[in-house]
Amino acid sequence: MPGSEEFVVTPYEVKGRIDYERLRELFGTQELSPELLERVRAATGGDLHPLLRRGVYYSHRDLAALLDGHAKGHPFFLYSGRGPSGPLHTSHLVPFELCRWFQERLHVPMYIQITDDEKYWARGGLTREETASWGLENLYDILALGFDPKRTHVFFDSRSIAALYPLAIRVARKIPYSTVKAVFGFEPSTNIGLVFYTALQSVPCFWPSWAEGRTVPCLIPCGIDQDPHFRVTRDIAEGLGYPKPALLHSQMIPGLLGENVMSTTGDRADNALFLNDPKAVVDRKVRNAFTGGRATVEEQRRLGATPEVCSVWALWRTRFAESEEKFREVTDGCRSGTLLCGECKSQVLERIHAFYRRHAEAREKVKEWAESTIVTTAPKPL
Ligand code: TRP
């Protein structure tokens, strides 16, 4: 398999230069084609979300079938999650932003899983208190995007276990150890918490069907690194009498230091914009960000630069270009050499600061109702 050794993408490790088409083939997922996007547009009314239009979401499983069901009047629900290992950064908002948009357009329920258990098991350096308190902080940031309090439900693993466990018991029995070992690459030294954990990430896919006693299809917007969990889920779904969840996969968002993921694991805080970074820190990080611009102004004016390798272009693409027109202007200006990196950074910084201000206000408001979204009881004992 030429090329397959050059990068690794699993829920617990992302490394190397990712060839996204190759990854899609390796994972066996489907291409998010223009035809399918047109169907999403028609079903949601109005324009497509920029994350769909700009190709950040690029792959799926069974989206066509989900849309068929929706057209026939079978409502679906949304599900995504967050492993709380620290403060959120802007790229963590990518799945939740798409969910918020679907909820606004279609008024569908949203289930959010906060996996404070998973992160405690997966990351040696974190205490239980830390993962639990980051879980709550992260939840405020997620809800502040604009989720509807009446239609949004949260499984905060350590606090929602009584609601999840009756179904987790049944899910766990269907998953052989050999499957998780092969799918996640677990070692003999991997703790058994992580071995069990994938059962808990599957449970929300089935929970509404279980609770309502009828089939409720599930759509999961997530980073493509999470696909392995849901391959396991999809394999066992029918044996449990539930529909396979549909998925929409995004690419990983490049980090500010020019790495292909905005991850800060290890000692790389400058690779990402944390939502709690003070203004001066945001300024410094963006000013120092990797751009792939030319060595001199003269060269850049003459030859232009390459937006696709630039971490600042990734910021425009994933959140900060407010219109397609602005996005095109930045992209074309970069490529042709008319927009230089310093000016481009000033423009994006203005938008980042404005977003941070709005976000901080919205975040204070959700604190009033965030607790009420946490599901703590099972709909029935079995
Ligand atoms: N495992 C995910 C993480 O490490 C958290 C998560 C739980 C999740 N359920 C999910 C992510 C559903 C996407 C979709 O961040």
Q: Which candidate, 362, 356, 363, 361, places its Cα nearest to that of 285? A: 356
How close is the Cα of 351 to the center of ligand 1, in Å?
Answer: 28
Instruction: Determine whether the shortest distance from the Cβ of 108 to ligand 1 is under 6 A.
Output: no
Query: Using a 6 Å cutoff on CB, does residue 81 contact ligand 1?
Result: yes
Choose the weakest-confidence range: 86-95, 265-274, 320-329: 265-274
Closest approach atom of ligand 1 to CA 229: 1
Q: How is domain 8-257 classified at the architecture level of CATH?
A: 3-Layer(aba) Sandwich (3.40)
By alpha-carbon position, which residue is closest to atom 7 of ligand 1? 81
Write the pLDDT tens digit of every residue in 74-121. 999 999 999 999 999 999 999 999 999 999 999 999 999 999 999 999
**Which SS3 state, helix, strand or coil, does residue 38 take?**
helix
Per-residue pLDDT averaged across 191-199, rounded?
Answer: 96
How much is the average pLDDT of 341-361?
98
- From 113, 158, 200, give the residue whose CB has the most ligand 1 atoms within 8 Å, as the site to mutate: 113
Predicted local confidence at residue 266, as pLDDT: 66
Equal fold, 8-257 vs 269-365: no
Measured CA to CA in angstroms, residue 122 lies from 13, 197, 213, 221, 236 at distances of 11, 10, 34, 22, 24
Confirm or reject: Cβ of 157 under 6 Å from ligand 1.
Answer: no
Q: What is the pLDDT of residues 281-321, one digit of tens each?
A: 999 999 999 998 888 999 999 999 999 999 999 999 999 99
Q: What mean pLDDT value characterizes the chain?
A: 94
pLDDT score at 5: 56
Q: The pTM is what?
A: 0.95
Q: Quick check: CB of 220 below 6 Å from ligand 1?
A: yes
Nearest CA to ligand 1 atom 6: 81
pLDDT value of position 2: 43
Beta strand extents in the chain (DSSP E only):
8-10, 13-15, 30-31, 57-61, 77-82, 110-114, 152-156, 218-223, 246-250
Q: Could you give the C-alpha distances from 2 to 14, 241, 251, in angstroms and in order?
A: 18, 39, 21
Rounded CA-CA distance 225/236 in Å is 20
Cβ(91) – ligand 1 distance below 6 Å:
no
> From the CB of 86, is ligand 1 less than 6 Å away?
no
Cβ(304) – ligand 1 distance below 6 Å: no
Q: Is the CB of 225 under 6 A from ligand 1?
A: no
Provide mean pLDDT across the span 189-216.
96
Locate the domains of the chain by residue range. Answer: 8-257, 269-365
- Evaluate: CB of 264 within 6 angstroms of ligand 1: no
Distance from the CA of 301 to the center of ligand 1, in angstroms?
43
Nearest CA to ligand 1 atom 4: 83
Residue 201, ligand 1, Cβ within 6 A: yes
pLDDT band at 381 (very low <50, low <70, confident <90, very high): low
Could you tell me which CATH number the domain at 269-365 has?
Answer: 1.10.240.10
How far is 230 from 31, CA to CA, in rounded Å?
17
Task: Check pLDDT > 90 for residue 36.
Answer: yes
Check residues 16 and 382 and name the one with the higher pLDDT. Answer: 16
Residue 11 beta carbon below 6 angstroms from any ligand 1 atom: yes
Q: What is the pLDDT of residue 15?
A: 84
Q: Which H or E run contains 140?
A: helix 128-143
Residue of 229, 232, 248, 263 to test ligand 1 pocket, by largest number of atoms within 8 Å of CB: 229
The residue-averaged pLDDT of 339-354 equals 97
- Checking if the pLDDT of 169 tops 60, the result is yes
Whole-number Å distance, alpha carbon 376 to ligand 1 midpoint, is 19
Amino acid at 249: H
